[in-house]
Amino acid sequence: MCSNSDQQRNKTVLVTGASRGIGKAVAMQFAREGYKVAVHYNSGTAEAEALVAQLIQEGCDVMAVQADVRDSAQVQHMIDTIMAQWGVIDILINNAGIAQQKLFTDITDEDWHNMFAVHVDGTFYCTRAVLPAMIAQKQGVIVNISSMWGQVGGSCEVHYSAAKGAIQAMTKALAKEVGPSGIRVNCVAPGVIQTEMNAILDPETLEALRQETPLEMLGTTAHVAEAVYYLCSDKAAFITGQIVGVNGGMII
């Protein structure tokens, strides 16, 4: 069941890439805590609509919004739709992403540009669209979802690592710029999380990754969602510009 907290019910959250995986877990966390949640999706129409229907059944205040985050016009239309419905976006979770494993010499121009378009351009477009209202109201929270590979690099994922590293640099720079406006910007860098994206890995690889993790376990989407939720709460009021690893100790 969804929370009835008046303070939370008056706050609105946009979660990009929320039809599955980490984004879905984050959207569910906020909705069940009583926030108004915009569930963004691009191609996962059925999944997003099913999630929204489930949360509405639970008494949550949610809506589905579609946009290709690679397109600034579509992003602006999405933001305008949410603002028309709820009047404000208090929290933005930039989670939309893709993954691809390839040898560096096999990465095509299209692979490279698409990886940056989804992760970096998408984060830029969504953030740019919500910031004017946040600055005007002198408050707001932005959490970008990166990856531990953006911190240390991943073999056969150079373009992915580079894009995720760019998000981390963007987080630190923007936190300095908008801090005086009362806006906090942080980044969560997950480790190996049990998602559909990682389901392509064979059992032997997943077991090896589990054994490499000091806590000897793979992360769940709920682990990441809890970290994101904390960073958006008043308990994290003095935290900004940080890269928070949720990786079981694999990257320290």
Q: Are 179 and 56 in contact (CB under 8 A)?
A: no
CA distance 148 to 197: 15
Closest by Cα among 14, 18, 11, 6 to 221 = 18
Q: Active site residue: 35, 41, 125, 160, which one?
A: 160
- Annotated active-site residue 160? The verdict is yes
Nearest C-alpha neighbor of 159 from the set 201, 100, 199: 100
Q: Distance (Å, rounded) from C-alpha 161 to C-alpha 4?
A: 40
Evaluate whether 93 touches 13 at the Cβ level (below 8 Å): yes
243 contacts 209 by C-beta, under 8 angstroms: no
Rounded to 5 degrees, φ, ψ at 59 are 95, 15
Q: Which residues contact 73 (CB under 8 A, 6 or more apart)?
A: none
| First-last CA distance in the chain | 36
Residues 71 and 65: beta-carbon distance below 8 Å? no
- Enter the tokens of residue 120: 């970096």
List active site positions. Answer: 160
